[in-house]
Amino acid sequence: MTGPPHGTLHHVELWVPDLPAARASTGWLLRRLGYEVSQSWDTGRSWRLGPTYLVLEQSPARTADHHDRHRPGLNHLAFHVEDARTVDRLAADAPAHGWTLLFPDRHPYAGGDGHYAAYLENEAGFEVELVARDGEDAG
């Protein structure tokens, strides 16, 4: 029996202050990236892509109502995206789903020359980076 390669990320669990809002913003993005809902319960939902899954949970044990990516802990999640055109399309559609483009003055090269990506933040303060796999400019 074979499984995912040793060291492959198994899952990420994010505690969110507002599960319906998180499902609307992060759920939209995960579906666009090819993830499918794998579990759903009153206080959470998980999406799976291959062997990896991501959980959003509104836990009663959390101690804050907003994620601060500038504090110790998780800064952001970065996802491979098919190409630069897909990065552009997702960045254009994201505001309608609760996301704001970070570093708009340096977009799409906020990560440096040759790193074609969109950096997005949702209303709860979570950041995602969408990185074009081919690294090529869409223009």
Q: Is the pTM of this model over 0.85?
A: yes
Which of these, 54, 47, 46, 40, lies nearest to 9 by C-alpha position? 54
pLDDT at 1: 62
Which residues, 6+ apart, have CB-to-CB distance to 118 below 8 Å? Answer: 87, 88, 90, 91, 94, 101, 107, 108, 129, 130
Angle, vertex CA 13, rays to CA 52 and CA 82, nearest 5:
45
Whether 115 contacts 99, CB under 8 Å: no
How far apart CA 132 and CA 126 sit, in angstroms, is 20
pLDDT score for 3: 85
Lowest-confidence range among 1-10, 47-56, 64-73, 107-116? 1-10
Please tell me the predicted confidence (pLDDT) of residue 133: 85
Q: Report pLDDT for 139.
A: 43
Above pLDDT 90, what percent of the chain?
86
Q: What is the mean pLDDT of residues 66-87?
A: 94
